[in-house]
Amino acid sequence: MKEPVIVFDHFGFQYFEQSEPTLHDINLVIHKGEKVLIAGPSGSGKSTLGSCINGLNPFAHKGTITGSLKVGGMETKDASLFKLSAVTGTVLQDSDGQFIGLSTGEDIAFALENDLIPQPEMKERVSKIAGLVGMSNFIAQNPHELSGGQKQRVSLAGVMVEDAEVLLFDEPLANLDPKTGRTAIELIDEIADENRAVIIIEHRLEDVLHRPVDRIIVMNDGRIIADDTPDRILASGILPGCGIREPLYLTAVRYAGIPVTEEDRPASLETFRTDLFRSRLQSWYEEHPVRKEKPAGRDMLEIRDISFSYDGKRQVLDQISTVIREGEMMSIVGRNGAGKTTLASVLCGFIKPDKGSVLMYGEDLSKYSISERAGYIGIVMQNPNQMISKTMIFDEVALGLRIRGVPENEVTERVHDVLRVCGLYQFRSWPISALSFGQKKRVTIASILVLNPKILILDEPTAGQDYRHYSEIMEFLKKLNENGQTIILITHDMHLMLEYTERALVMSEGKLVTDQKAYQVLCDRELTERTNLRETSLFDLAEKCGISDPEGFVECFIQYDREVRGNED
Amino acid sequence: MKIKTFSYDQLDTFVHRLSGLSKLICFLLLTTAIMVTYDIRIIAGIMVLSFTIMKISKIPLSRIRLMLVYVFIFLAFNFVLTYLFAPEYGVEIYGTRHEIFSFGGRYTVTLEQLFYQVTKFSKYLSVIPLGIIFILTTNPSEFASSLNRIGISYKICTSLALTLRYFPDVADDYNQIALAQQARGIEMSAKASVMQRLKRMASILIPLIMTTMERIETIANAMDLRGFGKHKKRTWYAAKPLNRSDYLSILVCVVILGVSLFVRFRINHGIYWNPFI
């Protein structure tokens, strides 16, 4: 019989600074040897649940507990943060932000240092654990200089060194490019064994299910609304209603009107009984011919042979040339460090390229200062907190105009116009602190849009957002684009690129590897492998069902999907 | 874009191998040795020493160029101001007057004034490389462990190490934010008035503080979860025992301080060395 390690019994939690409880009536048992996925939209309480297990709640973030939660046999409210964190090792979302040590070895040793382990024993244990996660050759390296996947290994080693009974991963996939994310999931799978429980908190369901999990626990509004096997949860179709996105292959099957049951094993494309409906999927595809695309706009921005290097040795940008057309919404994709953000910095004039030029309608932009250039190309940074400096929404959006000495009555008019476009007009006299993350993001977009840039660049507009906020932000951008705004998105989110952008520039090690239709990129296995992207599961589905033209199938799905979404609003 | 100016570089030189503690002690000893004297012979000696150490520690000029430029601007400014405010100070100190030429009015250039200002300039110039060497060659964690060993609370030591360690990241954030705000039209150049510039500074500092707070919260959670503060003491992975070269370096610096003090009290009988009488 498996031994229960986490037992929630009519458990509730309320943060001191909040008027309502965040968790209500949680009943949940997790056993040793189990691997569990906790899914739910932002604000569903899934992270709070995790923090109750590892002791951050109520010991670091104060609050009141009702009912009971036992972790490793301890009643949590009578324990302490140190006792609880010794049972549960936690890998936090942002692996960059949680490195404490200056070398990999030191970071792994952090928990041992706090436990007063003498240095010789510490070194021995560190080298053993480093070997276990395959990082033996990197013990002296600075963890910040490692690749995304290696960073994950180091943070994992840092919690494994304590021999925790529970391993908790809080959104391990956020900020990782698709291939690294997949490697992370494989790594988690490898270290799962009979003596540990593994809990993954994540809303990117399809990516987590790359390796099997025993159970999926679905949370919404602070309650557990489902706790079952992946096959049953996916077949039930409750996920989209809770703001969690189903795997794309499953969405495609549903679009084709094919009923899905538990026996079809939908949890993974490998086990999915596609043989039961091959012909129906095929005929759906034939019934939905791909429409002609809209004609391309006039050439707008020409990037001519841009090269750049920070240190004169490694080329961060290597002879990049392309043309951006009027009214386009396109994406720049590639792994972390491929040069995407540097390219955007060159476009905005933040850095001068060593070679090459940026031309807008044939006019060289290099003669303009950074702030003059903002009238041509505006950039919205990833984290809204990096931009917001005023307390009131109106003032924040008006900032750029006021500095440019625009008369106050014109400022009011233009700010109001832009706030209407961004759906923020009714909030115009609100303080920014009262807004949600998505709304803050819109404020930063509005504060750039108000300067009327011809091209708007957004750096990872949906990073860390759940499906609901993702859709909200992206539909908003789509609407802007339909009104004629040219938009460039920098991202490593394959869904975003596939669903919202026509064209994709793929970068790898400073080079522009390819410039083609977004869906074509994700159907090219060799290319995705080389550039740390990942082909879409739609392509795999089409192949598995023997559809003669899988690329066409993906395109067909995307068009159909856009129509469905368009009808939703 | 990484700002490397203030971050520790892992190299294997004599200076890097020294313990952080002995480097701190040497730094303090040498700084004191310079502080207690205006004798250009001693200052020049220490200056030669500090540039030699810089050479030994293989700090590339490109890393510190920007810093040196700022230091130089500051020193030049200081040089001019010292002259403008007290053109006769050298005469006052040394008690003689060898006029070279005159700008008119009270502004004459004397050999004494020139000598005084050159001495002062060299004082600064010899301390600064020592500071740079200390920051760039000391592993913050190892330094924290040394401080802990001389009795300072490990919580203070760790937060000091983390500050040093995250400084480059925060500087990086600052750069990004400043650029984005400049794009919105916030000109930080000298064109704007002081009041305007202060206001505009706020538009960079507020986002910087917000993002830094986010960083701090993440790291604080990570540290809590891994048992930081569990016991009254802790051990250190990066601790380095003091060895012979550490003791030797400290000894050399003590001797230098001794010489400086000896010269001041026994030979010059005052802080200044007077070559004019």
Inform me whether the pLDDT recorded for A558 exceeds 80. Answer: yes
Residue A321, number of CB atoms within 10 A of its CB: 12
Is A142 within 8 Å of B177 when comparing Cβ atoms?
no
Q: What pLDDT is attached to residue B189?
A: 58
Q: Which residues of A touch B162 (CB under 8 A)?
A: 100
B239: distance to nearest CA of chain A, Å?
8
Q: Which residues of B touch A450 (CB under 8 A)?
A: none
Q: What pLDDT is attached to residue B5?
A: 46
Identify the band that residue A564 occupies on the pLDDT scale cut at 50, 70 and 90: confident
**Once rounded to an integer, what is the mean pLDDT over residues B1-17?**
66
Topology alike, domains A4-241 and A326-353+365-534: yes
Interacting residues of A511 by C-beta distance below 8 A, sequence separation 6+: A318, A319, A320
Interacting residues of B54 by C-beta distance below 8 A, sequence separation 6+: B129, B132, B133
A525: distance to nearest CA of chain B, Å?
31
Is A116 within 8 Å of B231 when comparing Cβ atoms?
yes
Structural domain boundaries of chain A?
Answer: 4-241, 247-287+536-569, 326-353+365-534
Is B182 within 8 Å of A119 when comparing Cβ atoms?
no
| Domain at A326-353+365-534, CATH class | alpha beta
A117: distance to nearest CA of chain B, Å?
6
Probe site for chain B from A102, A103, A124, A390 (most B CB atoms < 10 A) = A102
> Does residue B138 sit at the A interface (CB-CB below 8 Å)?
no
Residue of B nearest to A451 (CA): B184
Is A388 within 8 Å of B233 when comparing Cβ atoms?
no
Identify the band that residue A21 occupies on the pLDDT scale cut at 50, 70 and 90: very high
Q: How many helices (H) and strands (E) would you count in chain B?
A: 10, 2
B 113-132 near A (Cβ less than 8 A): none
d(CA B2, CA A310): 9
pLDDT tens per residue, range A121-130? 999 999 999 9
B 244-273 near A (Cβ less than 8 A): none
Answer with the residue of higher pLDDT: A569 or B214: B214
Q: Which of B8, B139, B215 sits opposite A97 (nearest CB)?
A: B215
Inform me whether the pLDDT recorded for A492 exceeds 90. Answer: no
Answer with the residue of higher pLDDT: A121 or A163: A121
Is A113 within 8 Å of B237 when comparing Cβ atoms?
yes
**Once rounded to an integer, what is the mean pLDDT over residues A194-218?**
93
Identify the band that residue B253 occupies on the pLDDT scale cut at 50, 70 and 90: very high
Is A385 within 8 Å of B225 when comparing Cβ atoms?
no
Is B183 within 8 Å of A373 when comparing Cβ atoms?
yes
Structural domain boundaries of chain B?
Answer: 1-139+243-277, 141-237
Is B231 within 8 Å of A370 when comparing Cβ atoms?
no
Q: What pLDDT is attached to residue B2?
A: 43
Reported pTM: 0.82
**Once rounded to an integer, what is the mean pLDDT over residues A413-436?**
88
> Does residue B203 sit at the A interface (CB-CB below 8 Å)?
yes
Percent pLDDT > 90 in chain A is 51
Inform me whether the pLDDT recorded for B192 exceeds 70. Answer: no
pLDDT tens per residue, range B58-87? 888 777 888 888 888 999 999 999 999 888
| Exposure on the CB side of residue B127, measured as CA atoms within 13 A | 16
The fold for domain A4-241 equals: Rossmann fold (3.40.50)
Phi, psi (rounded to 5 degrees) for A200: -115, 125
**Once rounded to an integer, what is the mean pLDDT over residues B263-272?**
89
Is A310 within 8 Å of B181 when comparing Cβ atoms?
no
pLDDT tens per residue, range B158-181? 888 888 778 778 888 888 888 888
**Once rounded to an integer, what is the mean pLDDT over residues A131-143?**
87
Q: Kindly report the average pLDDT of chain A as a whole number.
A: 89
d(CA A559, CA A500): 10
Q: Which residues of A touch B186 (CB under 8 A)?
A: 371, 399, 403
pLDDT tens per residue, range A37-88? 999 988 889 989 999 999 998 998 899 999 999 999 999 999 999 999 889 9
Residue A413, number of CB atoms within 10 A of its CB: 12
B52: distance to nearest CA of chain A, Å?
26
Q: What pLDDT is attached to residue A215?
A: 96
Q: Which residues of A touch B149 (CB under 8 A)?
A: none
Q: How many CB pairs under 8 A join A and B?
A: 167
Residue of B nearest to A348 (CA): B183
d(CA B238, CA B143): 9
Q: What pLDDT is attached to residue A1?
A: 55
pLDDT tens per residue, range A497-533? 988 998 999 999 899 999 999 888 988 888 988 888 8
